[in-house]
Chains A and B, each alone.
Chain A
Amino acid sequence: GAGVSQTPSNKVTEKGKYVELRCDPISGHTALYWYRQSLGQGPEFLIYFQGTGAADDSGLPNDRFFAVRPEGSVSTLKIQRTERGDSAVYLCASSMGTSGSGDTQYFGPGTRLTVL
């Protein structure tokens, strides 16, 4: 079956602009996660959805970042007034959403965001 897909694969924007990054999870996965990965680092958690609701948004760095998942499938990460420090790879992952510690997350290929 299809894995997690993310679009666009690359996004170059200018400082101050608004961007949207899209994630299409594995079919049937109720849980969806966004991470940010800076060069040479491990991914850092941004936000987690269970169904349509954001169950944990504690990783969003500030109010310029927002994410939605209106129908419980596709999610969009929105960044307003982009700054050069927002440049990173944004990874999306999905999982079955089962309880317990063994709910494996499967990652998409990421969107590389460059803010000039």
Chain B
Amino acid sequence: AQKITQTQPGMFVQEKEAVTLDCTYDTSDQSYGLFWYKQPSSGEMIFLIYQGSYDQQNATEGRYSLNFQKARKSANLVISASQLGDSAMYFCAMRGFNFNKFYFGSGTKLNVKP
């Protein structure tokens, strides 16, 4: 069975500081992908970053980086230099090689304080 767990329902961070959002997963697939999405109050899911299970290096996209620890089955999102516009829900998702649907976690609500 595939499962994504996000244990932080809500997080606060001061503007310009870095923040880490936790994500752990469970899968029996050897090849899988991990994704992070941002969902502002407008509701649209915005793709942020992708990490493949066989990628040797942690993924980075601008201010977003993914701290991938395969042995611990964790894929934490790090946002550097937080901005007020980063306030949103963040979802971790997983897709395996042999299935196309995404499994999502329950999300973390990030609030960036000025």
Interface residues, chain A, with chain B CB atoms under 8 Å away? 31, 33, 35, 40-45, 48, 50, 55-56, 59, 89, 91, 93, 100-110, 112
Contacts and interface: CB of A to CB of B under 8 A. Distances in A.
B70 to A, nearest CB: 13
B41 interface: no
Nearest to A55: B100
B85 interface: no
A101 B37 contact: no
Contact of B97 (A31, A50, A100): A100
Given A59-B101, A101-B31, A102-B33, A109 B42 contact: yes
Nearest to B103: A45
B37 to A, nearest CB: 7
Contacts, number: 73
B31 A100 contact: yes
Interface in B20-67: 29, 31-33, 35, 37, 42-47, 50, 52-53
Interface in B84-114: 91, 93, 95-97, 99-107
24 contacts: A35-B102, A40-B106, A40-B107, A42-B91, A42-B106, A43-B91, A45-B101, A50-B100, A56-B100, A89-B43, A91-B45, A93-B45, A101-B31, A101-B97, A102-B50, A102-B52, A104-B35, A105-B102, A107-B45, A107-B46, A107-B47, A109-B42, A109-B44, A110-B43
Given A31-B100, A43-B102, A48-B100, A101 B52 contact: yes
A104 B45 CA distance: 12
Contacts of B103: 45
Q: Which 8 A-B pairs have the closest CB atoms?
A: A42-B104, A101-B33, A107-B45, A45-B101, A109-B44, A101-B32, A101-B97, A102-B33
